[in-house]
Amino acid sequence: MFLLPLTGGLIGKLDRSDSWFGDYRAIACGAQKVMENGRLYDMGLHCKGFDKTAVYVYLPVVAEATAEIVERVGQQGLLFLHIVLYGLSLCVLLGGVYLPTFNRLSLMQKIPFAAFLTGSAISWGNVAVVCHALILLTALSAKRFPWLFVGAVVLCGIIKPVFLTYLIVLLLLDIPVWKRVSWFSAGAIAGVAPTLWFAAQDTALSQQWEATLSYFVYELTPGDSFYGWLDLIGISADNPFAALGWALYAGLMTLSGISLAEGLKLDARSRIWLGLSLGVLLIPRLMSQDFFLIGVGLVIIALNTHTLESANRSVRFIADRGQTVLTTICVFALIGGAVDLGDYTTRIATLALSLYVLALGGLTFTQRYGDILGCLFPLKTNLLKAPQ
């Protein structure tokens, strides 16, 4: 039942050639424009040999790097490489999430979150799928090789800066706080620098890029998370107040994640999965291809919060029946998609998931703040406890 949006969507697109690999066509056409010195940011982007092309929205460096590959292997070679890499990425994501080997959770505990995956998540051929897979692979060894994970996030951040939200994984690792902050800061600075540098040039090309990106992000498809929530109440995300609101939301989610990781004494693998799920929820413009990693970390929370206590019956129910709460949210998203209300119900569902994290993160901190602070700052805590 939960796989119906994905399988039904794919079947419905089998006879529609314009629904397949649209993002690939945009990048391949962008590479062609670079080789021809043509206009890269064009709402009517078209290249010879492509029936229909989506609009190119990435930084010029992505098209330039792709052009280097095309010059060596040609467009057919690029298509072959893309199909192979895309197929492997899907195997990594689906296998990593749904096989119990990687997270010790049963299929039935995780399958409800498949309700968020639509046919477009696979058929559009978005480069985001490759990035999510790369981030997952490197995240699983982030405690031993944080530099590898940071490198993967920075690389994907150059393509789409929103992937920098995955750096929250570093803040949840069970390593000294100074190392967490250092790796996080290094990744954030390195990841955002290329985009800021290009935008700061204020050239005709950068202005065209900003205009194209703003149209798609803020007007046409604000997505199913923070920007989508604002859109539901008629507020555009294209203003400083929206950015400030997202920063506040991201900060609270990060603090909740740290409280849950330390207060529930999660092991290293569970912390990584929690960070990945929160990284997805923190993406301000969630699209269909961004939902692969959303569920595992939330299930881990649900399985570990039953030890929390509260006099409030509603909070008590959320802590005790976490999987029931999560499955209900997924069913809500599933039904909404079935009756063609997915543009509204998916956004409400992601908001509910975020509120779930914030509620349990706050509850965990209020009950176990001593343990949490002791884990984060062991030396300082021990000194405070020392006899006078």
> What b/e sequence results for 279-309 when a residue is b if at least 16 CB atoms lie within 10 Å of its CB, and e otherwise?
bbbbbbbbbbbbbbbbbbbbbbbbebbeebe
For 126, which DSSP code? -
Q: Is the separation of the CB atoms in 207 and 192 below 8 Å?
A: no
State whether the Cα torsion 192-190-153-158 is positive or negative: positive
203: helix, strand or coil:
coil
Closest CA to 45 of 288, 219, 285, 209: 209
Q: CB-side exposure of 164: number of CA atoms within 13 Å?
A: 21
Distance CA 370, CA 386 (A): 15
Return the pLDDT at 17: 67
- For the chain, where are the alpha helices, taking DSSP H only? 4-12, 22-36, 60-98, 107-110, 120-123, 127-139, 146-159, 168-172, 177-200, 204-214, 226-232, 240-263, 268-282, 296-304, 313-320, 322-338, 342-376, 378-385
360: helix, strand or coil:
helix
Distance CA 311, CA 126 (A): 47
CA 319 to chain centre: 25
Please list the ranges in the chain whose pLDDT falls under 70: 17, 379-388
Retrieve residue 102's tokens. Answer: 């990687």
